[in-house]
Amino acid sequence: MPLTSDQYLRYARHLSLPEFGEKGQEKLLKSSILLIGAGGLGSPLALYLAAAGVGRLGIMDFDVVDVSNLQRQIIHRTQDVGTSKAKSAKRGVNDLNPGCQVDIYEEGITSANALELIAKYDIVIDGTDNFPTRYLVNDACVMLNKVNIYGSIYRFEGQATVFDTRKNAEGKRNGPCYRCLYPEPPPPGEVPSCAEGGVLGVLPGIIAMIQATEAIKVLTGMGRTLAGRFVRYDAMNMSFRELKLRPDPTCPVCSANPTVTKLIDYQQFCGMSRGGESAMSTENLEISPTDYAAIRESGKEHLLLDVREPFELGICQIEGNMNIPLGQLPNRLSEIANWKNGLVIAQCKSGRRSMKALETLKKHGFTNVLNLQGGILAYGEEVDPSISAY
């Protein structure tokens, strides 16, 4: 459909971009995006995407506006305190661009409603900060062949990527999914939320604008997206870093032989207790970060086995480690066979994956193995402040 004269005026600055032009604007006007959450990320996303001319926005949020939201959730106003965030966001979008159709959902996303809901939109932007939702949205997007644009924020740092698991002409996926990066949810309560840890008010604006840019690129087919790349932003140093991501060939949802083929109970998946997961007692198998620092200091010979994914090492690592991701460990034991009787200290982000690694090592005859308690996060907190948390 050709643009109307109002649309020619409104989108004039897009139309004068030869890479974008009328074709790009028409594509945007025909497209739809589901925004999960109308909070720190969702607020600027909704405003800018509506301004840019995305035809239809789904805005999902079960919460009401609180006065403490206004420091960053810029779609809501002081007079909206106490009203539904979804309704307030719809008002904000339509004040800015009455031509944008807004569907609101004043509920949370669940395994029961996710597939039906996501199927109605071209792409999904997850602006929530809880792990059950992240895994749920990821799995549903992979199953429905939808692009999921990821962003997260905490204190002064943010991250963004595009999970585009659609297949190209050769049948290869464009990039990995969230589970390829984070095969295991963190132990409940281990990762503090923005409510506990705080967040710089302007930070979500930057990350949301990366997400909005990527959404527009995916919808119009312009440029090179962040699929397979992960951007980390540090406001304190005003620095951006890019890490490469690879699909996990053993990923339970996006690999050639998936084991998760329908939505599961994500609360349960993310709430599994440590004890229930590991058959081993952790007693006498853990070493505290300070005790481990003493071992390093003493020069005692040992193997530090980091079982995280390679991109996580790009964020931070303890010097001298050997990296074998947990999923690859059973097939790569020969590489560390000469450590069977030596001291092996396994380490991951929080100590949970490395505890699983210990089970594998013990089963294969490694006699002197320890788990770094609390992982690299605890080590960073207690021993080496130069290690950046994530």
Which of 139, 123, 150 lies closest to 31, judged by CA? Answer: 123
Amino acid 225 reads T
| Block residue for tokens 């009203």 | 83
Nearer to Zn ion, 43 or 152 (CB): 152
Rounded Cα gap, residues 144 and 86, in angstroms: 24
Rounded Cα gap, residues 171 and 168, in angstroms: 5
To Zn ion, the closest distance from the beta carbon of 262 in angstroms equals 16
Q: Which of 38, 50, 180, 370 binds Zn ion (CB under 5 A)?
A: 180
Nearer to Zn ion, 37 or 228 (CB): 228
To Zn ion, the closest distance from the beta carbon of 68 in angstroms equals 35
Q: Which of 141, 251, 316, 348 is catalytic?
A: 348
> Does residue 254 touch Zn ion according to CB under 5 A?
yes
To Zn ion, the closest distance from the beta carbon of 133 in angstroms equals 17
The region of 175-183, 185-193, 335-343, 365-373 touching Zn ion under the rule CB under 5 A is: 175-183
User: Which SS3 state, helix, strand or coil, does residue 303 take?
Assistant: strand
Strands 157-163 and 286-287: unpaired
163 strand-pairing partners = 148
> Does residue 177 touch Zn ion according to CB under 5 A?
yes
Amino acid 144 reads L
Q: Which residues contact 340 (CB under 8 A, 6 or more apart)?
A: 365, 366, 367
Q: Which of 14, 134, 179, 302 binds Zn ion (CB under 5 A)?
A: 179
Q: Which of 100, 141, 180, 194 is catalytic?
A: 194
- Is residue 141 annotated as a catalytic residue, yes or no? no
The region of 73-81, 105-113, 169-177, 310-318 touching Zn ion under the rule CB under 5 A is: 169-177
- Is residue 348 annotated as a catalytic residue, yes or no? yes
Please tell me the number of Cα atoms within 13 Å of 94 on its side-chain side.
12
The region of 4-12, 88-96, 183-191, 245-253 touching Zn ion under the rule CB under 5 A is: 245-253
Nearer to Zn ion, 15 or 218 (CB): 218
Which of 361, 365, 369, 366 lies closest to 330, judged by CA? Answer: 361
> Does residue 251 touch Zn ion according to CB under 5 A?
yes
To Zn ion, the closest distance from the beta carbon of 183 in angstroms equals 9
Nearer to Zn ion, 260 or 322 (CB): 260
Nearer to Zn ion, 114 or 251 (CB): 251
323 strand-pairing partners = 306
Instruction: Specify whether the CB–CB gap between 241 and 172 falls below 8 A.
Output: no
Question: Which residues in this chain contact Zn ion in the complex, by CB under 5 A?
Answer: 177, 179-180, 251, 254
Residues involved in catalysis? 194, 348
